[in-house]
Amino acid sequence: MARKQSQSLHQDWARLGATTRLAELELERRAIFKAFPDLARGARGVRVSIGVGAPAPVDALGRRRRTISSQGRKRMAEGMRKYWAKRKAAEKKEAK
């Protein structure tokens, strides 16, 4: 029982710390937009180019989307098929 209370206490402290940090970040964000009003205009779609070529596509929430080639998708699919086959074989072995 003491362990559950201890874990709960740790989670409460972690939540409090996270809440405090989020509040600090929000204050910092506001200060940055106050100092650089042109950033606030497109805050969610801000693109920063750091290299050669066009910046990565940005979705409606301002997150960069990675693109993958069809060859890369095929390699990933094959890898996942092998992964699940091994996992299924291991489950069958354990069931015996």
Query: pLDDT tens digits for the chain (96 residues)?
Result: 556 777 888 899 999 999 999 999 999 988 888 888 887 765 555 555 444 555 556 666 677 777 889 999 999 999 999 999 999 999 988 887
Would you call 58 helix, strand, or coil by DSSP?
A: strand
pLDDT at 49: 46
pLDDT at 70: 92
Whether pTM exceeds 0.75 = no
Q: To the nearest 5 percent, what fractions of the chain are helix, strand and coil?
A: 70, 0, 25
Q: Write down the domain spans for the chain.
A: 68-96
pLDDT at 45: 53
Would you call 52 helix, strand, or coil by DSSP?
A: coil
